[in-house]
Amino acid sequence: MQHITTGEMPANLTPQYLDAELKFKQAKTTPEKIKALEVMMAVIPKHKGTERLRGQLKSRMAKLKEELQRRPAVGKAEQAYNVKREGAAQVVLLGLPNSGKSSLLCRITHASSEVADYPFTTQKPIPGMMTFENLQIQLVDTPPVQMDHIEPGFPNLIRGAEGLLFLVDLTEDPIFQMEILLEELNRMKIRVAGKGPGPLPDPGWISLRALLVGNKCEAKNAMEAYRRFENHFRDAFPILPVSVERGMNLGELRKEIYQILNILRVYTKTPGKEADRMEPVILKKGSTVEEVALSVHKDFVAKLRYARVWGSGKFDGQMVKRNYVVNEGDVIELHI
Protein backbone atom coordinates (compact mmCIF):
# COMPACT_ATOMS: atom_id res chain seq x y z
CA MET A 1 0.00 0.00 0.00
CA GLN A 2 1.27 3.44 -0.85
CA HIS A 3 1.16 5.75 2.08
CA ILE A 4 2.11 8.86 0.20
CA THR A 5 -0.95 10.16 -1.51
CA THR A 6 -1.00 12.12 -4.69
CA GLY A 7 -2.36 14.69 -2.32
CA GLU A 8 -1.92 18.34 -2.38
CA MET A 9 -1.28 18.32 1.33
CA PRO A 10 1.50 16.51 3.15
CA ALA A 11 0.25 13.49 5.06
CA ASN A 12 2.54 13.96 8.10
CA LEU A 13 2.42 10.34 9.10
CA THR A 14 3.60 9.57 12.59
CA PRO A 15 6.14 6.94 13.65
CA GLN A 16 3.32 4.85 15.19
CA TYR A 17 1.51 4.88 11.91
CA LEU A 18 4.61 3.86 9.99
CA ASP A 19 5.26 1.17 12.55
CA ALA A 20 1.76 -0.21 12.17
CA GLU A 21 2.14 -0.05 8.43
CA LEU A 22 5.31 -2.10 8.67
CA LYS A 23 3.47 -4.68 10.79
CA PHE A 24 0.77 -4.72 8.15
CA LYS A 25 3.28 -5.42 5.42
CA GLN A 26 4.87 -8.18 7.47
CA ALA A 27 1.57 -9.79 8.42
CA LYS A 28 1.22 -13.28 7.04
CA THR A 29 -2.42 -14.04 7.66
CA THR A 30 -5.60 -12.14 7.00
CA PRO A 31 -6.51 -11.79 10.71
CA GLU A 32 -3.02 -10.41 11.37
CA LYS A 33 -3.45 -7.96 8.52
CA ILE A 34 -6.81 -6.85 9.88
CA LYS A 35 -5.31 -6.30 13.30
CA ALA A 36 -2.47 -4.18 11.95
CA LEU A 37 -4.86 -2.24 9.75
CA GLU A 38 -7.06 -1.50 12.74
CA VAL A 39 -4.08 0.07 14.48
CA MET A 40 -3.21 2.06 11.35
CA MET A 41 -6.76 3.37 11.20
CA ALA A 42 -6.67 4.29 14.87
CA VAL A 43 -3.39 6.16 14.88
CA ILE A 44 -3.49 7.87 11.50
CA PRO A 45 -3.59 11.63 11.96
CA LYS A 46 -7.07 12.80 11.12
CA HIS A 47 -6.78 15.86 8.94
CA LYS A 48 -7.43 16.89 5.37
CA GLY A 49 -4.05 15.64 4.17
CA THR A 50 -4.80 12.06 5.11
CA GLU A 51 -8.39 11.96 3.97
CA ARG A 52 -7.67 10.04 0.82
CA LEU A 53 -5.37 7.59 2.58
CA ARG A 54 -8.00 6.99 5.24
CA GLY A 55 -10.43 6.14 2.50
CA GLN A 56 -7.96 3.64 1.07
CA LEU A 57 -7.49 2.02 4.46
CA LYS A 58 -11.22 1.68 4.85
CA SER A 59 -11.72 -0.05 1.54
CA ARG A 60 -8.70 -2.24 2.23
CA MET A 61 -10.32 -3.29 5.49
CA ALA A 62 -13.58 -4.11 3.75
CA LYS A 63 -11.72 -6.32 1.26
CA LEU A 64 -9.84 -8.15 3.98
CA LYS A 65 -13.03 -8.84 5.89
CA GLU A 66 -14.59 -10.18 2.73
CA GLU A 67 -11.57 -12.37 2.17
CA LEU A 68 -11.92 -13.78 5.63
CA GLN A 69 -15.47 -14.87 4.85
CA ARG A 70 -14.73 -16.76 1.68
CA ARG A 71 -11.69 -18.69 2.75
CA PRO A 72 -10.90 -21.73 0.63
CA ALA A 73 -11.25 -24.96 2.55
CA VAL A 74 -7.85 -26.17 3.74
CA GLY A 75 -7.02 -29.87 3.60
CA LYS A 76 -7.86 -31.77 6.75
CA ALA A 77 -4.28 -32.82 7.42
CA GLU A 78 -3.09 -29.28 6.95
CA GLN A 79 -5.87 -28.00 9.16
CA ALA A 80 -4.43 -29.99 12.06
CA TYR A 81 -1.30 -27.84 11.82
CA ASN A 82 -3.26 -24.66 12.41
CA VAL A 83 -2.62 -24.14 16.08
CA LYS A 84 -4.16 -21.01 17.53
CA ARG A 85 -1.65 -18.99 19.47
CA GLU A 86 -2.45 -18.44 23.13
CA GLY A 87 -0.59 -16.72 25.92
CA ALA A 88 2.48 -14.52 25.62
CA ALA A 89 4.15 -16.51 22.85
CA GLN A 90 4.12 -19.74 20.91
CA VAL A 91 7.12 -22.08 21.02
CA VAL A 92 7.24 -25.14 18.78
CA LEU A 93 8.99 -28.31 19.98
CA LEU A 94 11.01 -30.03 17.27
CA GLY A 95 12.93 -33.27 17.30
CA LEU A 96 13.47 -36.65 15.73
CA PRO A 97 11.29 -39.60 16.81
CA ASN A 98 11.52 -40.64 20.46
CA SER A 99 13.50 -37.63 21.66
CA GLY A 100 10.91 -36.97 24.36
CA LYS A 101 8.87 -34.06 22.95
CA SER A 102 5.53 -35.42 24.12
CA SER A 103 7.00 -36.37 27.50
CA LEU A 104 8.17 -32.77 27.87
CA LEU A 105 4.80 -31.32 26.93
CA CYS A 106 3.05 -33.55 29.49
CA ARG A 107 5.60 -32.70 32.15
CA ILE A 108 5.64 -28.91 31.95
CA THR A 109 2.12 -28.13 30.77
CA HIS A 110 -1.32 -29.46 31.72
CA ALA A 111 -1.84 -30.87 28.25
CA SER A 112 -1.57 -34.54 27.49
CA SER A 113 0.11 -36.09 24.51
CA GLU A 114 0.71 -39.77 24.01
CA VAL A 115 4.17 -41.00 25.05
CA ALA A 116 5.60 -44.32 23.90
CA ASP A 117 8.91 -46.03 23.53
CA TYR A 118 8.37 -46.53 19.80
CA PRO A 119 8.89 -43.79 17.19
CA PHE A 120 6.21 -41.73 15.39
CA THR A 121 3.83 -41.76 18.33
CA THR A 122 2.70 -38.20 17.81
CA GLN A 123 0.71 -37.65 14.61
CA LYS A 124 -0.47 -34.08 14.91
CA PRO A 125 0.53 -30.94 16.80
CA ILE A 126 -0.73 -30.65 20.37
CA PRO A 127 -0.55 -27.35 22.26
CA GLY A 128 -0.16 -26.87 25.99
CA MET A 129 0.36 -23.88 28.27
CA MET A 130 3.50 -23.54 30.34
CA THR A 131 3.59 -21.24 33.33
CA PHE A 132 6.70 -19.13 33.74
CA GLU A 133 6.44 -16.77 36.70
CA ASN A 134 3.49 -14.49 35.84
CA LEU A 135 3.35 -15.57 32.19
CA GLN A 136 1.73 -18.28 30.14
CA ILE A 137 3.74 -19.51 27.18
CA GLN A 138 2.28 -21.91 24.68
CA LEU A 139 4.33 -24.99 23.77
CA VAL A 140 3.37 -27.06 20.76
CA ASP A 141 4.28 -30.75 20.62
CA THR A 142 4.72 -31.93 17.03
CA PRO A 143 5.09 -35.12 15.05
CA PRO A 144 8.76 -36.00 14.62
CA VAL A 145 10.74 -34.20 11.93
CA GLN A 146 11.48 -36.65 9.15
CA MET A 147 14.35 -36.76 6.75
CA ASP A 148 13.31 -35.67 3.27
CA HIS A 149 9.63 -35.53 4.04
CA ILE A 150 7.71 -32.45 5.10
CA GLU A 151 4.08 -32.74 6.21
CA PRO A 152 1.89 -30.09 4.58
CA GLY A 153 1.19 -27.44 7.15
CA PHE A 154 4.28 -28.16 9.23
CA PRO A 155 6.42 -25.32 7.77
CA ASN A 156 3.62 -22.84 8.36
CA LEU A 157 3.25 -23.92 11.96
CA ILE A 158 6.96 -23.43 12.54
CA ARG A 159 7.05 -20.12 10.69
CA GLY A 160 4.27 -18.73 12.81
CA ALA A 161 6.05 -19.47 16.09
CA GLU A 162 7.95 -16.97 18.19
CA GLY A 163 10.62 -19.48 19.14
CA LEU A 164 11.80 -23.05 18.58
CA LEU A 165 12.85 -25.68 21.05
CA PHE A 166 14.96 -28.46 19.56
CA LEU A 167 14.96 -31.59 21.63
CA VAL A 168 17.64 -34.22 21.02
CA ASP A 169 18.10 -37.62 22.63
CA LEU A 170 21.44 -37.73 24.44
CA THR A 171 21.50 -41.51 24.30
CA GLU A 172 21.71 -41.35 20.49
CA ASP A 173 24.28 -39.22 18.63
CA PRO A 174 22.90 -35.72 19.45
CA ILE A 175 25.13 -33.81 17.00
CA PHE A 176 23.90 -35.92 14.12
CA GLN A 177 20.26 -35.41 15.19
CA MET A 178 20.75 -31.68 15.34
CA GLU A 179 22.35 -31.62 11.92
CA ILE A 180 19.36 -33.41 10.41
CA LEU A 181 16.98 -31.01 12.13
CA LEU A 182 18.84 -27.96 10.90
CA GLU A 183 18.96 -29.34 7.38
CA GLU A 184 15.22 -29.95 7.32
CA LEU A 185 14.54 -26.43 8.57
CA ASN A 186 16.84 -25.16 5.89
CA ARG A 187 14.66 -26.88 3.34
CA MET A 188 11.69 -25.04 4.78
CA LYS A 189 13.61 -21.76 4.33
CA ILE A 190 13.83 -21.21 8.04
CA ARG A 191 17.06 -19.87 9.38
CA VAL A 192 17.62 -21.03 12.91
CA ALA A 193 19.09 -18.23 14.93
CA GLY A 194 20.57 -18.64 18.34
CA LYS A 195 22.59 -16.01 20.12
CA GLY A 196 22.34 -12.65 18.41
CA PRO A 197 20.32 -11.76 15.33
CA GLY A 198 22.92 -12.89 12.74
CA PRO A 199 22.79 -11.98 9.07
CA LEU A 200 19.45 -11.22 7.50
CA PRO A 201 17.94 -14.14 5.60
CA ASP A 202 17.23 -13.90 1.88
CA PRO A 203 13.78 -12.90 0.69
CA GLY A 204 11.29 -15.65 1.39
CA TRP A 205 13.31 -16.86 4.35
CA ILE A 206 12.58 -16.19 7.96
CA SER A 207 14.75 -16.33 11.01
CA LEU A 208 13.62 -17.82 14.31
CA ARG A 209 15.38 -17.98 17.64
CA ALA A 210 16.02 -21.40 19.06
CA LEU A 211 17.05 -23.24 22.18
CA LEU A 212 18.82 -26.61 22.00
CA VAL A 213 17.89 -29.12 24.68
CA GLY A 214 19.56 -32.48 25.29
CA ASN A 215 17.10 -34.88 26.91
CA LYS A 216 17.61 -38.09 28.93
CA CYS A 217 20.68 -36.61 30.64
CA GLU A 218 20.26 -39.05 33.55
CA ALA A 219 20.98 -42.02 31.27
CA LYS A 220 24.32 -43.79 31.18
CA ASN A 221 26.97 -41.89 29.17
CA ALA A 222 24.44 -39.17 28.34
CA MET A 223 26.45 -36.38 29.96
CA GLU A 224 29.54 -37.29 27.92
CA ALA A 225 27.43 -37.02 24.79
CA TYR A 226 26.07 -33.72 26.10
CA ARG A 227 29.60 -32.28 26.50
CA ARG A 228 30.37 -33.06 22.86
CA PHE A 229 27.04 -31.62 21.79
CA GLU A 230 27.64 -28.50 23.85
CA ASN A 231 31.15 -27.99 22.46
CA HIS A 232 29.82 -28.27 18.97
CA PHE A 233 26.90 -25.85 19.21
CA ARG A 234 27.43 -23.57 22.17
CA ASP A 235 28.89 -20.68 20.21
CA ALA A 236 25.82 -20.56 18.04
CA PHE A 237 22.94 -21.48 20.36
CA PRO A 238 21.85 -21.50 23.97
CA ILE A 239 22.05 -25.14 25.12
CA LEU A 240 20.78 -27.06 28.13
CA PRO A 241 20.72 -30.69 29.37
CA VAL A 242 17.54 -32.00 30.97
CA SER A 243 15.92 -35.20 32.06
CA VAL A 244 12.21 -34.96 31.45
CA GLU A 245 11.65 -38.30 33.14
CA ARG A 246 13.46 -37.33 36.34
CA GLY A 247 12.38 -33.68 36.21
CA MET A 248 15.99 -32.49 36.09
CA ASN A 249 16.76 -28.89 35.09
CA LEU A 250 13.18 -28.09 34.10
CA GLY A 251 13.09 -24.81 36.07
CA GLU A 252 16.14 -23.69 34.15
CA LEU A 253 14.45 -24.81 30.94
CA ARG A 254 11.44 -22.54 31.55
CA LYS A 255 13.80 -19.60 32.04
CA GLU A 256 15.74 -20.36 28.88
CA ILE A 257 12.52 -20.68 26.89
CA TYR A 258 11.54 -17.20 28.05
CA GLN A 259 15.00 -15.89 27.15
CA ILE A 260 14.83 -16.88 23.47
CA LEU A 261 11.54 -15.06 22.99
CA ASN A 262 13.07 -11.62 22.80
CA ILE A 263 10.23 -10.17 24.84
CA LEU A 264 10.07 -8.26 28.08
CA ARG A 265 7.50 -7.49 30.72
CA VAL A 266 6.55 -4.11 32.08
CA TYR A 267 3.78 -3.17 34.51
CA THR A 268 1.52 -0.18 34.25
CA LYS A 269 0.20 1.78 37.20
CA THR A 270 -2.09 4.71 37.77
CA PRO A 271 -0.90 7.61 39.93
CA GLY A 272 -1.10 6.88 43.64
CA LYS A 273 -1.63 3.15 43.16
CA GLU A 274 0.64 0.15 43.08
CA ALA A 275 1.32 -1.69 39.84
CA ASP A 276 -0.30 -5.09 39.45
CA ARG A 277 2.66 -7.47 39.23
CA MET A 278 0.45 -10.29 38.07
CA GLU A 279 -0.60 -8.41 34.94
CA PRO A 280 2.47 -7.84 32.82
CA VAL A 281 2.35 -5.96 29.55
CA ILE A 282 4.33 -8.06 27.12
CA LEU A 283 6.41 -6.22 24.54
CA LYS A 284 9.24 -6.87 22.13
CA LYS A 285 12.67 -5.96 23.49
CA GLY A 286 13.52 -2.43 22.42
CA SER A 287 9.93 -1.21 22.76
CA THR A 288 9.22 2.31 23.96
CA VAL A 289 6.74 3.99 26.28
CA GLU A 290 4.65 4.62 23.18
CA GLU A 291 4.18 0.90 22.68
CA VAL A 292 3.25 0.50 26.33
CA ALA A 293 0.53 3.08 25.78
CA LEU A 294 -0.64 1.37 22.62
CA SER A 295 -0.98 -1.93 24.44
CA VAL A 296 -3.16 -0.32 27.09
CA HIS A 297 -5.46 1.40 24.65
CA LYS A 298 -5.06 2.55 21.09
CA ASP A 299 -6.43 5.99 21.95
CA PHE A 300 -3.78 6.42 24.63
CA VAL A 301 -0.98 6.87 22.13
CA ALA A 302 -2.26 10.09 20.64
CA LYS A 303 -3.08 11.54 24.03
CA LEU A 304 0.12 10.52 25.79
CA ARG A 305 2.05 13.44 27.26
CA TYR A 306 4.78 11.75 29.28
CA ALA A 307 5.39 8.80 31.56
CA ARG A 308 7.08 8.06 34.85
CA VAL A 309 9.37 5.07 35.20
CA TRP A 310 10.33 2.93 38.15
CA GLY A 311 13.10 0.41 37.47
CA SER A 312 15.42 1.32 34.65
CA GLY A 313 15.13 5.07 35.24
CA LYS A 314 17.91 7.09 36.83
CA PHE A 315 15.69 7.38 39.90
CA ASP A 316 12.25 6.17 40.90
CA GLY A 317 9.44 7.96 39.18
CA GLN A 318 11.68 9.61 36.60
CA MET A 319 9.76 11.54 33.95
CA VAL A 320 10.39 10.22 30.46
CA LYS A 321 9.20 10.94 26.93
CA ARG A 322 7.26 8.66 24.63
CA ASN A 323 10.39 7.39 22.89
CA TYR A 324 11.94 6.10 26.13
CA VAL A 325 13.08 2.48 25.66
CA VAL A 326 11.66 0.35 28.46
CA ASN A 327 13.37 -2.52 30.26
CA GLU A 328 12.36 -5.84 31.78
CA GLY A 329 10.45 -5.27 35.00
CA ASP A 330 9.90 -1.52 34.59
CA VAL A 331 6.81 0.02 36.15
CA ILE A 332 5.31 2.67 33.89
CA GLU A 333 2.85 5.36 34.84
CA LEU A 334 1.27 6.85 31.75
CA HIS A 335 0.15 10.47 31.81
CA ILE A 336 -2.33 11.66 29.23
Ligand X SMILES: Nc1nc2c(ncn2[C@@H]2O[C@H](COP(=O)(O)OP(=O)(O)OP(=O)(O)O)[C@@H](O)[C@H]2O)c(=O)[nH]1
Binding residues for ligand X, rule: CB under 6 A, are 95, 97-103, 115-117, 119-122, 144, 215-216, 218-219, 243-245
97 binds, among ligand X, Mg ion, none (CB under 5 to 8 A by kind): ligand X
| Helices (runs of H) and strands (runs of E) counted in the chain | 11, 12
The per-residue DSSP string of 216-250 comes to -TTSTTHHHHHHHHHHHHTTTS-EEE-BTTTTBTH
How far apart (Å, rounded) are the C-alpha atoms in residues 336 and 321? 12
Considering only 122, 177, 268, 288, the residue that binds Mg ion (CB under 5 A) is: 122
Nearer to ligand X, 20 or 106 (CB): 106
Write the single-letter amino acid at 321: K
CB of 171 vs ligand X, minimal distance in Å: 7
Nearer to Mg ion, 99 or 268 (CB): 99
- What does 155 interact with, of ligand X, Mg ion, none (CB < 5 to 8 A by kind)? none
Q: How far is the CB of 130 from ligand X (least distance, A)?
A: 16
109: partner contacted, choices Mg ion, ligand X, none (Cβ within 5-8 A by kind): none
From the list Mg ion, ligand X, none, pick the one residue 103 interacts with, judged by a Cβ distance below 5 to 8 Å according to partner type.
Answer: ligand X
- From the list ligand X, Mg ion, none, which binds 128 (C-beta under 5 to 8 Å, kind-based)? none
For residues 37 and 57, the answer to whether their CB atoms sit within 8 Å is yes
The site string for Mg ion over 153-192 (x = CB under 5 A, - otherwise) reads ----------------------------------------
The minimum distance between CB 182 and ligand X, in angstroms, equals 17
Which residue from 102, 109, 138, 249 is in contact with Mg ion, where contact means CB under 5 A? 102
- Please count the other Cβ atoms lying within 10 Å of the Cβ belonging to residue 13: 19
What are the backbone dihedrals phi and psi of residue 90, each rounded to the nearest 5 degrees, phi first?
Answer: -115, 125
CB of 278 to Mg ion, least distance (A): 33
Shortest approach of Mg ion to residue 159 CB, angstroms? 21
Q: Which is nearer to ligand X, 90 or 243 (CB)?
A: 243
Per-residue burial over 66-85, b = 16 or more CB atoms within 10 Å of its CB, e = otherwise = eeeeeeeeeeeeeebbebee
Please report how close the Cβ of residue 144 comes to ligand X at its closest, in angstroms. Answer: 3
Interacting stretch for Mg ion, rule CB under 5 A, among 82-90, 121-129, 159-167, 229-237? 121-129
First to last CA, the chain: 32
Q: In the β-sheet with 331-335, what is the strand arrangement from edge to edge? A: 281-284, 263-269, 331-335, 306-310, 318-320
Nearer to ligand X, 90 or 103 (CB): 103
Question: Is 98 near Mg ion (CB under 5 A)?
Answer: no
Question: Could you tell me where the beta strands, DSSP code E, fall in the chain?
Answer: 90-94, 126-132, 135-141, 163-169, 190-193, 206-215, 239-241, 263-269, 281-284, 306-310, 318-320, 331-335
Amino acid at 288: T
In angstroms, what is the minimal distance from the CB of 155 to Mg ion? 19
| Exposure of 175 in the CB half-sphere (CA atoms within 13 A) | 11
Of the two residues 44 and 164, which places its CB atom closer to ligand X in the complex? 164
CB of 151 to Mg ion, least distance (A): 14
Which lies closer to Mg ion via its Cβ, residue 77 or residue 319? Answer: 77
| Angle (nearest 5°) at CA 106 between 135 and 216 | 105
Please state, as a whole number, how many other Cβ atoms lie within 10 Å of the Cβ of residue 181: 24
Q: Which does 99 bind (CB under 5 to 8 A by kind): ligand X, Mg ion, none?
A: ligand X
